[in-house]
Amino acid sequence: MDEFALIRRHFAALTGAPREVVLGVGDDCALLQPPPGEQLAVTSDTLIAGRHFPDQTAPADIGWKALAVNLSDLAAMGARPLAFTLALTLPQADDAWLAAFAQGLRACAEPSGAALIGGDTTRGPLSITITAIGALPPGGALLRAGAGIGDLVCVTGTLGDAALALQQWQAGRVPADDAEHWLRARLDRPTPRHAAGLALRGLARAAIDVSDGLLGDLGHICSASGAGAELDLSALPMSEAFRRRAPAAQRAGLQLTGGDDYELCVCVPPARLDDARRACGPLPLTPVGRIVAEAGVRLRDAHGAIVEVSSHAYRHF
């Protein structure tokens, strides 16, 4: 199967196209018509086998996650997903693998409304690069640089689930019950929080998605905003599955530095917290700390004492 047959069979009709897509898959370039009066937000992520996901990961889960991590970036900016491109490097053109990969990609794309509009395929070690495009009103983006002294540091959902699942996987543990299957799904199929990102525009003052661990990603907000933060370890939200399976001594490390959560970390003025929670609907939005003037991110336990952790964030190099 050559490159063009591969594209026609698995990707040419993968998604529908919103009105902003004038021309999609099949030409030298895609054509987009930006929504009237809106800006485009563009992000790109690469996932490499053995580095960003275990080699044994199911192809449908790889397809899902490759897009989800990009939609998460759009969510952190408060951008509505429009379209994405796919650059796929494959050791071989395995038809069954490609069909499953495309199914996972489609399953993630359809709820978001994002359309596949082009890309490239080539032979080599397995890697997936997706570039995602979203739209938002001028001045409406949630930036890292907007945090103000006194803002509440809040996170959506729960933290540490994916890191615990990866730890179990690396230890050779096969999910044995509903709790462990749920944790594995949090690793393999993270939920992009684009609805929350849209809802928090105008309520949050800064945002980032938690991809490399809360401690490191919040540090990016602090650096960009010229501020610091204090986190309350006792406030970090955990799922029931995490509470049941994570050893107590490891919980803080998994929640703070494990990565792969793809929740949103947002900075909200205290007066806007109730509105922000209502805007997120059933998705929990939990205050876990506060923005302060002193640089750096400090951790406090339930008694207010400073706590040290052994690492800060996932590092790519």
Q: Which residue has the tokens 């996901």?
A: 53
**Mean pLDDT within 56-83:** 95
Q: What is the pLDDT of residue 254?
A: 95
Q: Is the pLDDT of residue 316 over 60?
A: no
* 209 marked as binding residue: yes
At residue 186, does pLDDT exceed 90?
A: yes
Q: Is 95 annotated as a binding residue?
A: no
> pTM of the predicted model, to two decimals?
0.90
Tens of pLDDT, residues 167-181: 999 888 888 899 999
Mean pLDDT for 56-78 is: 95
pLDDT at position 317 is 34
212 is in an annotated binding site: yes
> Rg of the chain over CA atoms, in angstroms?
20
Give every CB contact of residue 133 below 8 A, 6+ residues apart in sequence.
Answer: 32, 40, 41, 42, 81, 82, 83, 84
Q: What pLDDT does residue 21 have?
A: 75
Task: Supply the pLDDT for residue 159.
Answer: 98
> How far is Cα 12 from Cα 25, in angstroms, rounded to an integer?
6
Query: Tell me, what amino acid is at 314?
Result: Y
pLDDT at 54: 84
The answer on whether 223 is annotated among ligand-binding residues is no
Least confident of 146-155, 192-201, 294-303: 294-303
Ligand-binding annotation for 43, yes or no, is yes
pLDDT at 313 over 60: no
Q: What is the DSSP string of 198-247?
A: HHTTTT-SEEEEESS-HHHHHHHHHHHHT-EEEEEGGG----HHHHHHS-
pLDDT at position 71 over 70: yes
**Domains in the chain: ranges and CATH:** 3-136 (3.30.1330.10), 144-307 (3.90.650.10)
| Joined tokens for residue 154 | 């809040």
**44 annotated as a binding-site residue:** yes
262 is in an annotated binding site: no
